[in-house]
Every structure is written in C-alpha cells, then in structure tokens.
Amino acid sequence: MRIGLFGGTFNPIHLGHLKAAKRVKAHFALDTVVFIPSALPPHKDPINICKPKDRLEMVRLAIAGYQGLSLSDSELKRAGYSYTIDTVCSLKNEYDDDDQLFLLMGLDAFLEIQTWKSYADLFRLIASIVMLRPGVGGADFNQMQTLVDQYLTSIISPRYRYSVEKKCFTHAKLQPVSLYDVAPLDISATAVREQLKRRQSIASLVPPQVAEYIQRKGLYQ
C-alpha cells in the first residue's frame, strides 16, 4: 500500500487541508491519506489551540464519507509534545514492511523543518511530498522548486538533485522529496478562527459538519 501521512494541528481542519489531501492522493496514487492531529504541537502557541479531542472529532466529521481519507489518534495517545519523528517511527512499526509511506506537508511547514526534532532522520526514514501553499515563497511551481532546491541543498544535504525524469529531488542515501502544485485554496486555520472571532460566516472555509460542530461546542469565541 502507498500511504500518505498528513500531520497538523487542524485547529480546525479546513477545506484547504481537504483539497490538498484529495489532490495528492489522486496524483501520487496513494491508497490512503491518514490525517494525524497533533496533541501538543511544539511550534504553536497552546493558548489558541482547542482540545485535541475536539480537533480529532472535527477531522473525523470532515473526512466522513471520503474513501481513502482516514484518521489516526496516535499523537493523542502520547504524552508531551507531538514530534513527527516519533509518529513516523511508531507508524512505520505498525504498517507492513512493503508499505510505502509519504509525509505530506505544505511549503510553509517544509521550510521550517530544520526546527523539528531529529529532522535529519526524517529524510532517512520517509519520502516527503511538499504542497504549494498560497502566500508562501512565491506563487508558482517554478519558484517553489527553486526554494525547495535551495533549502534542501543548503540545510539537509548538498547531494540532493532534482530529477526531471522522476519529477522529484533524489539523493543516493536519503529519501526523495516530491513537489506538488495542488492548485491550493488560500485558506488557513488562522483565517477560520479570525472569521469566528468577528462573528462572520465560515461556510466557505470549512465543511458544513465542521461549522456545525464549532457552533454547537462554542469553539474559538
């Protein structure tokens, strides 16, 4: 099986996340994309983050009915900060040896990866798929490719090279890094929370069942 791991705070999950996951799943012929909400993200201010149980439930509601999108509560079962390296190691043990795993992330997340715990090990363990995101590092695919090239070769390893044939950055010893222009939606969880604070509609930003959950639970007021 080809499995995409899509970690995030999902505070809350929005249509940008869903579109990105569906497009990447189709383009890279993944069997499933697993959403993995973090319990305690190391890089975000915990004050603005609602309970992990609520964020998990919103992801569950958002993906209900979509074949090939699934949910893992693995980070919620661990105490302390949710580090991607720990999640990847534990999920690698759960899946079969011949399953292929891919780590999905937006360009904004990728360009901060040097701040992640044991980030160098991630490039040994798992292939990455980096998705274009509006407002981050230029608007088009070529700019994204240049940015990722510079980042990979200066921060991770000078031996990463773009392969036109394979359409990804390859390395003799490390895992490949693919890029994908998902024709992304310019939506962020920050924008969803701001709309809610202003008491404006979030109907165009999140699935209706997520909007209903937020309203029923009085989240982000």
Among residues 52, 106, 176, 207, which is the contact residue for ligand ATP, using CB under 6 A? 106
Give Cβ neighbours of residue 59 (< 8 Å, ≥ 6 apart): 10, 13, 35, 37, 71
Instruction: Pick between residue 163 and residue 221 the one whose CB is nearest to ligand ATP.
Output: 221
Question: Do the beta carbons of residue 9 and residue 37 sit within 8 Å?
Answer: yes
Q: Is residue 4 near ligand ATP by the rule CB under 6 A? A: no
Q: Is residue 188 near ligand ATP by the rule CB under 6 A? A: yes
Among residues 57, 86, 108, 149, which is the contact residue for ligand ATP, using CB under 6 A? 108
Q: Is residue 72 near ligand ATP by the rule CB under 6 A? A: no
Q: Is residue 52 near ligand ATP by the rule CB under 6 A? A: no
Among residues 109, 111, 177, 206, which is the contact residue for ligand ATP, using CB under 6 A? 109
- 71-74 contacts, C-beta under 8 A, 24 or more apart: 71/34, 71/35, 71/36, 71/37, 72/34, 72/35, 72/36, 73/37, 74/36
Q: Is residue 187 near ligand ATP by the rule CB under 6 A? A: yes
Min separation Cβ 145 and ligand ATP, Å: 16
Q: Is residue 16 near ligand ATP by the rule CB under 6 A? A: yes
Question: Do the beta carbons of residue 117 and residue 42 sit within 8 Å?
Answer: yes
Work out the end-to-end distance of the chain between its first and last CA atoms, rounded to an integer number of angstroms: 41
Q: What share of the chain is helix, strand, coil (3-state, %, to 5)?
A: 40, 15, 45
Instruction: Pick between residue 11 and residue 72 the one whose CB is nearest to ligand ATP.
Output: 11
Q: Is residue 25 near ligand ATP by the rule CB under 6 A? A: no
Min separation Cβ 41 and ligand ATP, Å: 8
Cross-strand partners of 2: 100
Residue count of the chain: 221
Among residues 4, 5, 8, 39, which is the contact residue for ligand ATP, using CB under 6 A? 8
- Tokens standing for residue 114: 């040097």
Where along the sequence are the contacts to ligand ATP (CB under 6 A)?
A: 8-11, 16-17, 20, 105-106, 108-109, 131, 133, 184-185, 187-190
